[in-house]
Structure 1
Amino acid sequence: MNVSEAAAALSVCSSFDRRTVGEADAQAWAAALPDVRFEDARDAIVAHYRETREWIMPADVLRRVRLVRRERLVGIAAPTPPAALADDPRAEQRWARVARNAIASGATEQEAAATACRAVGIDVPTAGPAVGPPSGARAALARVMDSTKEDE
């Protein structure tokens, strides 16, 4: 998350808790949440305030985002690297790691494969496996929220 996205996330927080937000706040949140997408942070903030009146902090956002990222990977088979990488195990491993991370971040399998191909410097295949529906943050967050309600 960059500083402007952090400011937008803090604006969402402010809508709930009336905190004042300045440049230093946005910089601090951006530093604490560098790998968090704005959409995931926003959804985590809303989910937080649906459950509690407690002031939200970056650690709370991270906890919820980690749950959503794990949920997105449930039931997803490990992406298969392209045959062009068969002779390079390190590139193949990097491709798989980047693709999995992209899926956890909310990309479709096809988007994740394209991102991984660009990361290892190979052409993006034009044909690939059938792609299912995108794994969205809202759907994953709803599943996480439902599972936490069952624990109550």
Structure 2
Amino acid sequence: MSLDRDQTIDLLTVIAAYDRRSSGEGDIAAWSEAARRAGWTFPEAVEAVHAYFAESSKWLMPGDVTERIRVARRQPAAVSDVLALEKKPSTPERRAEFMAQMRKLAGRKGMPR
């Protein structure tokens, strides 16, 4: 899901707080299109902007936001997030199902069972 018009305006407002740029309809359209093409979410984009300006004084472009979002998406989840996941109890049935899936994958890869 990409940014809607209001979110794009809000994002440009955050950016302007850092670099004092002025934005018009063309900027809204261009940043909206970049967000759509790269699949930004609003929280990801805002985080990318704050992270960018924490480290750089250069002019921010949509590609800078896309790059930061892609890097962030490749990072593993925080340990606290993983530990907070609902844990399902291990049962003989679940173990058998898991092993069946592993055998199926091994067969596709030509690995010995």
Q: 1:5 & 1:23 partners in 2: Cα distance?
A: 14
User: What code does the residue aligned with 2:26 have?
Assistant: A
- Within 5 Å, give how 1:104-143 maps onto structure 2: 129-130=86-87
Compute the displacement of 1:74 (Å): 8.1
Long gaps (5+) in structure 2? 89-113
Report if the CA contact (8 A) 1:3-1:26 is conserved: yes
**TM-score between the two structures when normalised by the length of structure 2:** 0.63
Q: 1:59 & 1:67 partners in 2: Cα distance?
A: 12
Q: 2:40 & 2:77 partners in 1: Cα distance?
A: 16
* Equivalent position of 2:42 in the other structure: 38
Instruction: Give the 3-state SS of the residue equivalent to 1:33 in structure 2.
Output: helix
User: Which structure's relative contact order is higher, taking Cα pairs within 8 Å and 6+ residues apart?
Assistant: 2
Q: 1:24 & 1:12 partners in 2: Cα distance?
A: 17
- Give aligned-pair identity as a percent: 31
Q: Does 1:19 align with 2:21?
A: yes
Compute the displacement of 1:4 (Å): 1.6
Q: Could you give the per-residue CA deviations for residues 7-51 of structure 1, whole angstroms, max 9, x where no partner exists?
A: 111111100000001122111101011110111111111111111
* Equivalent position of 1:141 in the other structure: none
* Equivalent position of 1:47 in the other structure: 51
Report if the CA contact (8 A) 1:9-1:42 is conserved: yes
User: What code does the residue aligned with 1:67 have?
Assistant: V
Q: Which protein is bigger by CA-based radius of gyration?
A: 2
Instruction: Give the 3-state SS of the residue equivalent to 2:75 in structure 1.
Output: helix
What is the aligned-residue RMSD (CA, Å)? 2.3
Report if the CA contact (8 A) 1:4-1:26 is conserved: no
* Equivalent position of 1:68 in the other structure: 72
* Equivalent position of 1:57 in the other structure: 61
Q: Could you give the per-residue CA deviations for residues 72-97 of structure 1, whole angstroms, max 9, x where no partner exists?
A: 4588xxxxxxxxxxxxxxxxxxxxxx
* Matched pairs, number: 80
User: What code does the residue aligned with 1:4 have?
Assistant: D
